[in-house]
Copies of this chain bind each other. A is one copy, B any other.
């Protein structure tokens, strides 16, 4: 896994950003769009399993995930790993790393990813020149915290089945919102069971058994990188989750 991030020249213009056409994202003014374009210093393509931000490293850049999946994680000295949350297209990466000069978590790609890179100084320009966009940065940070909050509720107080149901439900909804719906009614989900286990605070073995319970109950179909939830009502009841708000969100 390369610790440094190769770059190549920008190839996608924000004005024709494929994400912006999705209803999940708020519209922006022409001026804001031009500003965002001016922030973008590079486009970065990485394969699956690449280190995007190393744990403990200082990040010199901030990214928006254009396509693909990634996750934030922490590891303890003896190797135990906790996945903090998953990152999907449109999500902001490295805000903490940027603000604190050092991260105590890493970010790794799950699939091939394309990232829009913003330089360190540019972040400050947002706050200075574009208060509405600065507000959006804060909003995206708060949304990420809300995801981690839910993960903590899961790890702390939900049973294994509830945790898995809640996570699959969340990922299904998020993937759908960014246009990852598949023909058969499912969504692409490039996670191994080991990833799910590390996200939920379970062992891989126990996660596997829990998954089979949901499968045999006809609530989850997962295989070949595709997730289908045939019984949304049942899985929502299991997760004891409230339907997440589907309001359009900012995209920077």
Is A13 part of the binding interface, using a Cβ–Cβ cutoff of 8 Å?
no
Known A-B contacts A76-B157, A240-B76; A134 and B145 likewise in contact (beta carbons under 8 Å)? no
How would residues 137 to 149 of chain A score, 1 for a CB under 8 Å from any chain B CB and 0 otherwise? 1110111111011
Binding-face segment, A16-24, A80-88, A180-188: A80-88
Pick from B82, B100, B131, B146: contact of A131, CB under 8 Å: B131
Interface residues of A in 71-113 (CB under 8 A from B): 72, 74, 76-78, 80-82, 84, 95-96, 99-100, 102, 104-105
Is A49 part of the binding interface, using a Cβ–Cβ cutoff of 8 Å?
no
Q: Which residues of B contact A156 (CB under 8 A)?
A: 82, 151, 155, 198, 200-201
CB of A201 within 8 A of CB of B100, answer: no
Complex: chain B residue closest to A146, CB-CB: B96
Q: Which residues of B contact A137 (CB under 8 A)?
A: 138
Give residues in A with beta carbon < 8 Å to B.
72, 74, 76-78, 80-82, 84, 95-96, 99-100, 102, 104-105, 124, 127-128, 131-132, 134-135, 137-139, 141-146, 148-153, 155-158, 198, 200-201, 240, 242, 245
User: Can you list 28 contacts pairing A with B, beta carbon distance less than 8 Å?
Assistant: A74-B149, A74-B150, A76-B158, A77-B240, A78-B240, A80-B158, A82-B152, A84-B152, A95-B138, A96-B145, A99-B138, A99-B139, A100-B143, A102-B245, A127-B131, A127-B132, A127-B134, A127-B135, A128-B131, A134-B138, A137-B138, A138-B141, A145-B145, A148-B152, A155-B155, A156-B198, A156-B201, A157-B201
